[in-house]
């Protein structure tokens, strides 16, 4: 077999120009497919990152009532248990769930002051020790919550940059006291999104999507929540999925798991629902993919034409090398060996075209990405399929010429001038 | 010419032996291929025609021929006499329309493509008029080719190819391409290639046809050496001077074989 490959390579090399032109069909076909697939994937990734935030694959499940976020400020809702940390283990058993955190949240809190400055419109979150890590937040100034803060009902708070700006202006917030529902909380740190989790903002719509929490966020330890809010408020759950693709299934599983624990009355219309950004993204992606599926079809036709080119050249090669075939038969090469040799040559020709095509395709996708402004996403699977496909082209279109070569009568072949 | 009798009459060539009595089993196993007591080539009643039915063109008529081990036989005939067809049948490149051909005791008509290929590979060494070397391969690679099909391991192929080339006096030309060699040297490479599998029969078709007289003589000397060291040689030629190198000479005319006595008798 090695000998076969060596002979074939020599044959291909001795007709460089012809071999290159033959490969060109395969090169163009494969390059087009790679470029199209990577553009599709790049577009999809852009849709994902625009909507969801690149790398921050979090899904949140919140309690909904009649299609709105449930309001617990004045009433408790019967049949909704307050989950404690023991449910985390159950959540982490969901396929694709990496991290989980429980938190309380209250939006548009009115009684939130620094001295006389109101932070109306801010969101207050009561968070457990996993939250910052899970949400992709890091402490940029001061410190985070210590374990002691979490267990001792400490009245400490973390704020985000928005809240910091609106409450303290240019002042140093550390050590200052925020008043939440008339209880004093000491600001110990400022948190920011880790840079890797910052979403790409390309349009006004994106911008509004990310800045809807315009009042900023104030975080307090979950144990301290009952000091300022109700003690039996249902919690929300945040889960970090292993990948963006896992978000939708993890979200569904999460909602199912939590809803299974509810014992609300029939018709109460209370249930956990997970944020469905991933599903929105998936719908957009599908739209992009279906238009591009046609492009792949067109590129496949060029691959077919390339395959016919390989067959044509192999047929010429068989005719040209009739004498050689006759001689090899006389020297004891059985039909099978002759066939294998031509088949090897056809496969190598296609395979080399495929490999060059992959390289050209990768270059092309970088060019497209640069021009169209989408991220470059080269799919390993697409490369594997492309190379496999080019080999298949070699086999399919090399078979007829190889059979023709192997069927040659040695005397006729030797006599051929 | 019409006075010539077909070759079914007893032959008395210079090295002729008793052959008519030899009766080999029709389906001798291939393992007998090297047994000492059977002739290398045994043709009985071989007919060959091209085409079908009424359009069939007969080429060979009732050929009987035996070549014993160590014999050096020349088949002489003008062009169109059927000598190439006979050579193709003897070389297992073509099959007879009727008749029996035992090659070293193996009935050739019983073999399929694989079997024929193996037989050609192990039993027959070919030398052609136009050398038929692969132009892009070196002398050594050309000589190694039959061993590739014979399943000889790579390192052994290289050693044996060098050895065979040294044997024909081309030890210093192993890495030359055919285009860098003279006609005589090319034919030596071809002979090395033919002998490298140690075949039971060396089959040469006009081996000097494309060479000048001096190179032709050298090739003939090489054949003589091979014959002296025990090789069985069948050579086809149309030149009497070349044919005279052989131990025994048979003639082919219009598809029939004649001994030299029969032909000379007519000539006198």
pLDDT at A61 over 70: yes
* CB A103, CB A126: distance < 8 Å: yes
In whole angstroms, what is the distance from residue B207 CA to residue A73 CA? 109
Q: What does each C-alpha distance from A395 to A6, A97, A301, A400 come to in angstroms?
A: 18, 44, 17, 9
Residue B220 is predicted with a pLDDT of: 92
Q: What per-residue string of b and e applies to B57-68 under the rule 16 or more CB within 10 Å gives b?
A: eebbbbbbbbbb
* CB A134, CB A186: distance < 8 Å: no
DSSP track, A48-76:
HHHHH-TT--EEEEEEEETTEE---SS--
CB contacts of A5 in chain B (<8 Å) are: none
Q: Which of A50-54, A59-63, A239-243 has the lowest mean pLDDT?
A: A50-54
Q: What per-residue string of b and e applies to B120-150 under the rule 16 or more CB within 10 Å gives b?
A: bbbbbbbbbbbbbbbebbbbbbbbbbbbbbe
Question: How does pLDDT run across A156-167, given as a tens digit for each residue?
Answer: 999 988 888 888
Query: B145, A323: Cβ pair inside 8 Å?
Result: no
Q: Which two tokens stand for residue A98?
A: 């990496």
Contact of B62 with chain A, judged by CB distance below 8 Å, is answered with no
ipTM of this complex: 0.79
Query: A330, B149: Cβ pair inside 8 Å?
Result: no
Q: What does each C-alpha distance from A299 to A30, A44, A358, A380, A390 come to in angstroms?
A: 8, 20, 13, 18, 13
Going from N- to C-terminal start, the domains of chain B cover 30-267
Contact of A327 with chain B, judged by CB distance below 8 Å, is answered with yes
* CB A100, CB A91: distance < 8 Å: yes
Among the partner-chain residues B88, B118, B154, the one whose CB lies closest to the CB of A332 is B118
Contact of B258 with chain A, judged by CB distance below 8 Å, is answered with no
Chosen CATH of B30-267 out of 3.30.200.100, 3.40.50.1950, 3.40.50.300, 3.40.50.410: 3.40.50.300
φ and ψ of A235, to 5 deg: -95, 160
Question: How does pLDDT run across B94-107, given as a tens digit for each residue?
Answer: 888 899 999 988 89
Query: A334, B150: Cβ pair inside 8 Å?
Result: no
Highest mean pLDDT among A192-201, A202-211, B201-210: B201-210
* CB A239, CB A245: distance < 8 Å: no
In whole angstroms, what is the distance from residue A3 CA to residue A99 CA? 55
Q: Which residue has the higher pLDDT, B66 or A68?
A: B66
Query: A331, B122: Cβ pair inside 8 Å?
Result: no
Query: pTM for this structure?
Result: 0.60
Q: Which of A204-208, A259-263, B193-197, B260-264 has the lowest mean pLDDT?
A: A204-208
What residue ranges of chain B have pLDDT lower than 70? Answer: 1-37, 263-268
Query: A411, B126: Cβ pair inside 8 Å?
Result: no
Residue given tokens 């000589």 in the structure block: B143
Among the partner-chain residues B132, B134, B149, the one whose CB lies closest to the CB of A332 is B149
Contact of B145 with chain A, judged by CB distance below 8 Å, is answered with yes
Interface test with A, best of B148, B154, B186, B197 (most A CBs within 10 A): B148
Query: A331, B113: Cβ pair inside 8 Å?
Result: no
Confidence grade of residue A136 (pLDDT, cut at 50, 70, 90): confident
In whole angstroms, what is the distance from residue B105 CA to residue A251 CA? 81
In whole angstroms, what is the distance from residue A361 CA to residue A33 CA? 7
CB contacts of B141 in chain A (<8 Å) are: none
CB contacts of A410 in chain B (<8 Å) are: 93
In whole angstroms, what is the distance from residue A343 CA to residue A4 CA? 10
Residue A255 is predicted with a pLDDT of: 87
Give the bridge partners for A129, in sequence order: none
Instruction: Measure A6 CA to nearest chain B CA, in Å.
Output: 11
Query: A331, B126: Cβ pair inside 8 Å?
Result: yes
Question: How does pLDDT run across A303-358, given as a tens digit for each residue?
Answer: 888 888 888 888 888 888 888 888 888 898 888 888 998 899 889 989 999 999 99
Contact of A265 with chain B, judged by CB distance below 8 Å, is answered with no
């Amino acid at each position: 077999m090695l000998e076969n490959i060596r002979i074939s390579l020599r044959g291909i090399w001795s007709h460089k120009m012809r071999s290159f032109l033959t490969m060109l069909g395969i090169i163009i076909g494969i390059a087009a497919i790679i470029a199209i697939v990577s553009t599709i994937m790049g577009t999809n990734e852009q849709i994902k990152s625009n909507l969801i935030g690149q790398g921050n694959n979090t899904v949140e499940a919140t309690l909904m009532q009649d299609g709105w976020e449930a309001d617990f400020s004045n009433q408790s809702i019967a049949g909704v248990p307050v989950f404690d940390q023991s449910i985390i283990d159950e959540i982490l058993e969901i396929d694709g769930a990496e991290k989980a955190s429980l938190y309380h949240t209250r939006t548009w809190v009115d009684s939130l002051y620094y001295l006389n400055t109101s932070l109306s419109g801010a969101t207050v979150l009561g968070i457990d020790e996993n939250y910052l890590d899970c949400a992709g937040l890091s402490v940029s100034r001061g410190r985070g919550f210590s374990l002691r803060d979490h267990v001792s009902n400490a009245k400490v708070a973390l704020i985000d940059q928005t809240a910091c700006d609106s409450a303290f202006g240019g002042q140093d917030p550390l050590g200052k006291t925020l008043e939440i529902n008339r209880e004093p909380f000491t600001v110990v740190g400022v948190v920011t999104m880790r840079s890797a989790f910052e979403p790409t903002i390309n349009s006004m719509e994106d911008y509004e999507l990310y800045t809807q929490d315009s009042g900023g966020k104030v975080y307090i330890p979950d144990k301290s929540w009952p000091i300022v809010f109700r003690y039996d408020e249902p919690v929300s759950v945040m889960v970090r999925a292993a990948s963006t693709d896992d978000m939708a299934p993890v979200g569904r599983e999460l909602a199912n798991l939590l809803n299974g624990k509810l014992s609300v009355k029939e018709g109460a219309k209370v249930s956990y629902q997970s944020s469905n950004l991933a599903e929105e993204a998936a719908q957009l992606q599908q739209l992009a993919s279906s238009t591009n599926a046609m492009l792949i079809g067109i590129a496949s036709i060029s691959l077919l034409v390339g395959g016919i080119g390989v067959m044509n050249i192999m047929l010429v090669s068989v005719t040209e090398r009739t004498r050689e075939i006759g001689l090899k038969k006389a020297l004891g090469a059985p039909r099978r060996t002759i066939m294998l040799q031509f088949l090897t040559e056809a496969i190598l020709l296609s395979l080399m075209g495929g490999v060059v095509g992959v390289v050209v395709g990768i270059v092309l996708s970088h060019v497209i990405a640069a021009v169209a402004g989408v991220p470059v996403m080269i799919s390993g699977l697409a490369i594997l399929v492309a190379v496999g496909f080019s080999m298949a082209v070699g086999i399919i279109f090399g078979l007829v010429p190889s059979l023709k070569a192997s069927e040659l009568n040695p005397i006729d072949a030797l006599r051929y001038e | 010419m019409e006075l010539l009798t077909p070759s079914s009459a007893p032959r008395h060539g210079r090295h002729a032996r008793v052959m008519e009595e030899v009766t080999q089993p029709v389906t001798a196993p291939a393992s007998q291929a090297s047994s000492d007591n059977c002739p290398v080539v045994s043709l009985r009643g071989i007919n060959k025609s091209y085409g079908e039915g009424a359009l069939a063109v007969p080429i060979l008529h009732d050929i009987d021929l035996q070549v014993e081990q160590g014999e050096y036989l020349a088949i002489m005939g003008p062009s169109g006499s059927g000598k190439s067809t006979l050579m193709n049948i003897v070389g297992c490149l073509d099959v007879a329309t009727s008749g029996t051909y035992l090659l070293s005791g193996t009935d050739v008509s019983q073999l399929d493509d694989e079997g024929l290929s193996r037989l050609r590979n192990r039993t027959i060494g070919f030398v052609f008029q136009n050398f038929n070397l692969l132009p892009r391969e070196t002398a050594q690679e050309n000589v190694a080719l039959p061993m590739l099909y014979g399943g000889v391991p790579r390192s052994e192929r290289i050693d044996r190819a060098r050895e065979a080339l040294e044997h024909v006096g081309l030890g210093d030309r192993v890495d030359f391409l055919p285009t860098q060699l003279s006609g005589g040297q090319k034919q030596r490479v071809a002979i090395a290639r033919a002998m490298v599998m140690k075949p039971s029969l060396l089959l040469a078709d006009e081996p000097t046809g494309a060479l000048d007289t001096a190179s032709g003589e050298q090739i003939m000397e090489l054949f003589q050496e091979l014959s002296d060291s025990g090789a069985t040689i069948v050579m086809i030629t149309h030149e009497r001077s070349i044919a005279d190198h052989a131990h025994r000479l048979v003639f082919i005319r219009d598809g029939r074989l004649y001994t030299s006595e029969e032909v000379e008798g007519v000539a006198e």
